Amino acid sequence: MFNPIFGPLKSRRFGWSLGIDVSGQAKQCNFDCLYCELTAHKPTARMQNVLPPDFLLNALKRALEKITTPLNVLTTTANGEPTLYPHLKELIIGMQALVPSGVQTLILSNGSRLGVPEVQEALMHYNMVKFSLDAVCKKVFSRVDRPHKDLSLEKILNGILDFAQKYRGFLVAEVLLVAGVNDSEAHIKDLASFLRRVPNLARVDLSTIDRPPAYKAKPLETTKLQELAAHFQDLPLSLPQRVLEQTQVQSTKEAFLELLRCRPLSVEEARCYLNIAELQELQKTGLLQIKQVGQMHFYYYT
Ligand code: SF4
């Protein structure tokens, strides 16, 4: 049976996170980004398979009862775009009753529906909202995010501004750069100008591809990323830093494979869960394999 809860996972910028996947096994997203770490899939305007909120909340309750490691955030995410989930408000209200003290609620969105009134109503209940913004020009948007045909970039940008005006929590923008696609100096300047107009922005996470992408897309060299970061210097910029504490999480091979089914894990991350001998044993079974992306190696579920 599908388990919508995954983790805890070490997130680079939010700490130890327990994830709740609202879309289920099939990818359901209104984008089909070049760099997506999930498999490529035709974008969809709405979720076709909707999990009942009770199913998600019961699974979360059971997972929280078993957790022994410290947790920083409870992350709503999806095998796709979580704001497509039609019961998001009911879900976050139910989650708030379960959140352990000191743990923040976070949602990771592609930013495409921040202007939709019912989405705004749900997002207002989150402590932290992170939205992606990879393009501010139509041509670049089509290339990098490969959106559903009904989406309008202009409406998306206005939606971000409108939501930011009303939101009182911790608002984070993530800009992911793909070499040769959205990294021209002119486009970066426009992107930074737009972000300057977003009120109450707590942080801008600038990054590049660091996980195996759905399509042939290349990460930026570190020096290039640093160079472009200069255009964001008057914004609350955060640059990527893969600093993994070698914290050991209690895990089993089965639980680890379950995690890997959701997303690839770097070799360093994987070692937080299993020791080298256990990882090698799993590799021999053929259930996982290693792939190189840029300078890093990742474990993949096969
Ligand atoms: S990266 Fe996110 S927004 Fe883009 S296709 Fe994948 S799930 Fe959708």
Closest CA to 20 of 100, 93, 105, 102: 105
| 139: amino acid identity, one letter | K
Pocket probe mutation, ligand 1, options 22, 28, 33, 151, max atoms within 8 Å of Cβ? 33
Could you tell me how many residues make up the chain?
Answer: 302
Closest CA to 56 of 26, 30, 23, 32: 23
Q: What is the pLDDT of residue 89?
A: 98
| 25: amino acid identity, one letter | Q
* Alpha helix segments (H runs only) across 174-213: 185-196
The full set of domains in the chain, from first to last, is 5-243 (3.20.20.70)
**Chunked in runs of 10, what are the mean pLDDT values of the chain (302 residues)?**
86 85 91 92 93 97 90 92 97 96 95 98 97 98 97 98 97 96 97 96 89 89 86 79 49 82 73 82 88 66 83
d(CA 199, CA 235): 11
Pocket probe mutation, ligand 1, options 27, 83, 110, max atoms within 8 Å of Cβ? 110
Exposure of 49 by Cβ count < 10 A (0-12 exposed, 13-18 middle, 19+ buried)?
Answer: exposed
Closest CA to 245 of 15, 14, 7, 6: 15
Binding site membership of 29 for ligand 1 (Cβ less than 6 Å)? yes
Closest CA to 205 of 293, 114, 132: 132
Encode 122-149 in three state secondary structure.
Answer: HHCCCCEEEEECCCCCHHHHHHHHCCCC
Q: What is the pLDDT of residue 241?
A: 54
Binding site membership of 217 for ligand 1 (Cβ less than 6 Å)? no
DSSP states of 46-91:
S-SS---HHHHHHHHHHHHHH--S---EEEEE-SB-GGG-TTHHHH
DSSP letter assigned to residue 209: -
For residue 65, what are the contacts with CB-CB under 8 A and spacing of at least 6?
A: none
How much is the pTM? Answer: 0.84
Q: What is the pLDDT of residue 240?
A: 62
Ligand 1, atom nearest to 35 Cα: 1
Q: What is the pLDDT of residue 237?
A: 81
d(CA 140, CA 210): 20
